[in-house]
Amino acid sequence: MTILIDTREKIPFFFQTPSIVGTVPTGDYSLVGFEGRVAIERKELDDLVACLKNGKPGEPQNRDRFERELERSRTLDYFAVVVEAPWKDIAAGRYTSRMHPNAVVQSLLTFSVRYRLPLFFADNRQHARMITESLLLKFAREVETRPHAPADAP
């Protein structure tokens, strides 16, 4: 398997698994040949919080754009968001936005239910890289062991 890193990824992860840069239609990371089935979105904490709020009129509407991506993710067999920060940083408000931590938590819970969105919080960037690589490899292993079944079949 080869991991596909989206061309728009500004600070890409470096994986132990072979990887190449290319186009990932939804998310930041996928697997070559499975771009329409699996994707992982990487978020730094400030970026995640920015995606949860709407800007003032005339400003970019980050939440709308993020929800469009989550809507596209519904067509995939597996999609997750990996955050380069621990959950406790949200509760403590350790981000630059003035969005209240409770509003951040409630938005994330809403998206989790609405889009069946797994959210993984990592202790740091290295941990986020490991989670991303592991999720993609586990998806590949599931496809290999059950090639004719959907990835989410029991």
What pLDDT score was predicted for residue 145? Answer: 86
Half-sphere exposure of 66 (CA within 13 A, CB side): 24
Q: What is the pTM of this model?
A: 0.90
Which tens digit of pLDDT belongs to each residue from 85-123? 999 999 999 999 999 999 999 999 999 999 999 999 999
Structure tokens at 124: 């740091």
Give me the residues of the chain with pLDDT under 70, please.
55-60, 147-154
What letter represents residue 91's amino acid?
Answer: A
Asked if residues 143 and 151 have their Cβ atoms less than 8 Å apart, the reply is yes
What pLDDT score was predicted for residue 80? Answer: 98
Which ranges of the chain would DSSP assign to H, the alpha helix?
45-50, 62-73, 87-91, 101-114, 125-145
